[in-house]
Structure 1
């Protein structure tokens, strides 16, 4: 990746003007020109960010943000289990004491690949969201942010910096809006032409005094295509997401049972969902990102479902280490793969689902039972689903799995 391995050293030699420009003065001791005005420093930051490899950079003040919208969202229960998103995220100075400015950056991952309805011919495959098809973007962003900090620290040795990706207690999208990086679309994601909303965000907090940007006008107009495209109705209004119905939440953050009434709407999505982004007109001709870390094989985008439904811990770690998919865990991914196999509607999935019925984790067994019942209900189990479920019921002891088996048998018999 363009920001990996020795990246701080690589970028320390850039921008060596020989003549002082307006708002700049030579560093004491001669040599490099260092801007002394806040606007000059901001211009330097933008230039360095582009050299490091970011697809957008802006500056926001470190003044506290209004976090009442987040509190209201949490109070409605729309965050699901993500209650950690509360707790004073509005004040960036809790992350870096004395912070005066925040460099907000965006890295584009582009459209790269076909839609959720695509796949690999002849293969029962699931779909992984586009941002998760490459290496873990957290690592990529951190490397690039550290490279940017190294460049700035050489010019401003007394300044302090702290890099943050989405694990830090910050309101990333409001900060990006404040910095003028883009606007928040009705699908709740940041839009920045020409990259659309295919972006991941990061921040570099500093006590440097930088000239802040200004918010850009929102340009969604009357369009509501993203709301209409959501398979589960999770977008309950413009910029209003009920995460409990969101496929990305259900397949990544949610650790428990996926509600039965939502399972068919997942289709073959096993990690994340791009439906609202695919429907957005701003994303139709979006430019792809420059970083080669986003480029992966068709198998990374559309993995074989039978393999994932029965994957063991070692296999999971070997395959998904250093990728975003690691977040969901082996059990979560196997659960998701079982649901996808039930929705795929092929008798070829029966052997894998029968094996998944013997998984050590009851969460996987319960969703495998549901999938077999769904196949049987649609006549796509080759006549074996009912027998497999009956046999599993005799040996099952977990009450929730037994409930899933009973429901699956009842559905297949109707």
Structure 2
């Protein structure tokens, strides 16, 4: 088997199946990453969505016996919608981050990796392969950096010269000793645009993020969002792009290579008030195929309530009152009470006072009374 020829054939084939960039790395342990992950854990900066076993995150040999290389792939996604919709008074809209436009990227990348696996196995039938996307044990970004896909930006994203950070990443551990590509030099220099733009200060310093303050993380949680951070969320109902849109490398980067990644504007920028009335079935039918639906309906509804407060949308008062009266989720009720306090219209005060008279949950009642007190002082 001619390894160099096989690598060349894999690269050429990857272009025919919609892989925009491909790189090859060693399967050595990610020693430097391990030290960073341990430090993140000590500081309490992890999101909790990660693989809990750090050794699995940094040791390819724990995932595939005797690994010899890792293939990293990148697919560029759009940063602008082809068709735009705008919100207006009484019809305010939320916003899904760009990584949740179109079909769930996990499906897209798994499709490309499966095709790549089939191609390699046709050439090397006894090859051992293990592919993963995002939810796998390895760090997609660490693999991509080692494979020369891009460099690690101060916003903790992989920055590619061609596509900026608007890329989805996946990888395949192999038993084939592919010659590794060379990593790129860091090109961020002294720029701190992403750090300066982060609404919550989640970017502690270049290359270090406190996930507990990151809006992309907060919008995916199921708990009540800390009050100090609610105003920072704005009208984001899933994810955050501030550290990407502020990056000079990303300026002008907008690629529409993959039809399945194109945004449906009514999904990517949904009307907020209808979200509060959606049944589980309606939510699944409309949002079930996008990445931002993975945590279910409730987090999106909670974020929609925060967005309505952001707009101080007085037309939403009846909807928020209905949440207080009819919703079973205390997270939504508590957030609705806060939102009515932010809107602060006479109708909002009336809704809060009605709810205060019947609410039995301590936390929700406390939020209602706190909102009333603020409005009357």
RMSD over aligned CA atoms reads: 1.7
Q: Cα deviations across residues 20-52 of structure 1 (Å, max 9, x unaligned)? A: xxxxxxxxxxxxxxxx33322222221111111
Q: Secondary structure at the match of 2:219?
A: helix
Q: Cα deviations across residues 92-138 of structure 1 (Å, max 9, x unaligned)? A: 12222222111100111121239x9x833453000110110211110
Deviation at 1:279, TM superposition (A): 0.3
From 138, 142, 145, the counterpart of 2:106: 138
Contiguous gaps of at least 5 residues in structure 1: 1-35
Deviation at 1:289, TM superposition (A): 4.2
Deviation at 1:395, TM superposition (A): 1.7
Larger Rg: 1
1:232 and 1:247 in contact (8 A); partners too:
yes
The change in CA–CA distance for 1:192 and 1:315 in structure 2 (over 3 A counts) is: same
The change in CA–CA distance for 1:363 and 1:284 in structure 2 (over 3 A counts) is: same
Deviation at 1:160, TM superposition (A): 1.7
Matched, 1:55 2:23: no
Deviation at 1:305, TM superposition (A): 0.4
Instruction: Give 4+ residue runs of structure 1 displaced > 6 Å after superposition.
Output: none
TM-score by length of 2: 0.94
1:251 and 1:328 in contact (8 A); partners too:
no
Q: Tell me which residue corresponds to 1:395.
A: 358
Pairs within 5 Å for 1:296-311: 296-311=263-278
From 53, 59, 62, the counterpart of 1:91: 59
Q: Cα deviations across residues 252-271 of structure 1 (Å, max 9, x unaligned)? A: 1x221100011011110110
TM-score by length of 1: 0.86
**Residues of 1 paired with 2:277 and 2:356: CA distance?**
19
1:178 and 1:214 in contact (8 A); partners too:
yes
The alignment covers a number of residue pairs equal to: 371
**Residues of 1 paired with 2:355 and 2:151: CA distance?**
52
**Which structure's relative contact order is higher, taking Cα pairs within 8 Å and 6+ residues apart?**
2
Q: Secondary structure at the match of 2:295?
A: helix
Pairs within 5 Å for 1:15-414: 36-66=1-31, 67-82=34-49, 84-88=51-55, 89-113=57-81, 119-122=86-89, 123-252=91-220, 254-357=221-324, 358-376=326-344, 381=345, 383-414=346-377
Deviation at 1:296, TM superposition (A): 2.4
